[in-house]
Amino acid sequence: MDTLQSRLDAEFLLSHMCSVKFKEWIVVLATLLRRTEVLFDLFQRDMRLWKAYSVTLQSHPAFSEYHDLLDGLEKRLSSVVNSQEK
């Protein structure tokens, strides 16, 4: 029950951070909650933030559990960038 309540609290906090546009907290919470749709929406509008995020997750062994999340985001973002270039 504590895990569920913690997750609900984190989801609530994420929605609040999205409403006030605190990008740093949005990125942290969305990563922990593995909310790819939130991260995708944020990164497709700010590729510099995406590059910093990607480099950070790749450079620290402690973040290896998020590499699948990173790979999925990279594929989605690269398809958007490629379609915009056409």
Residue ranges covered by each domain of the chain: 2-85
* Integer Cα distance of 73 and 9 in angstroms: 25
What is the pTM for the complete model shown? 0.81
* Integer Cα distance of 29 and 15 in angstroms: 10
Q: What is the mean pLDDT of each run of 10 residues along the chain (86 residues)?
A: 78 83 89 94 92 92 93 91 68
* Integer Cα distance of 24 and 32 in angstroms: 13
- Check residue 79 and report its DSSP letter: H
Evaluate whether 77 touches 44 at the Cβ level (below 8 Å).
yes
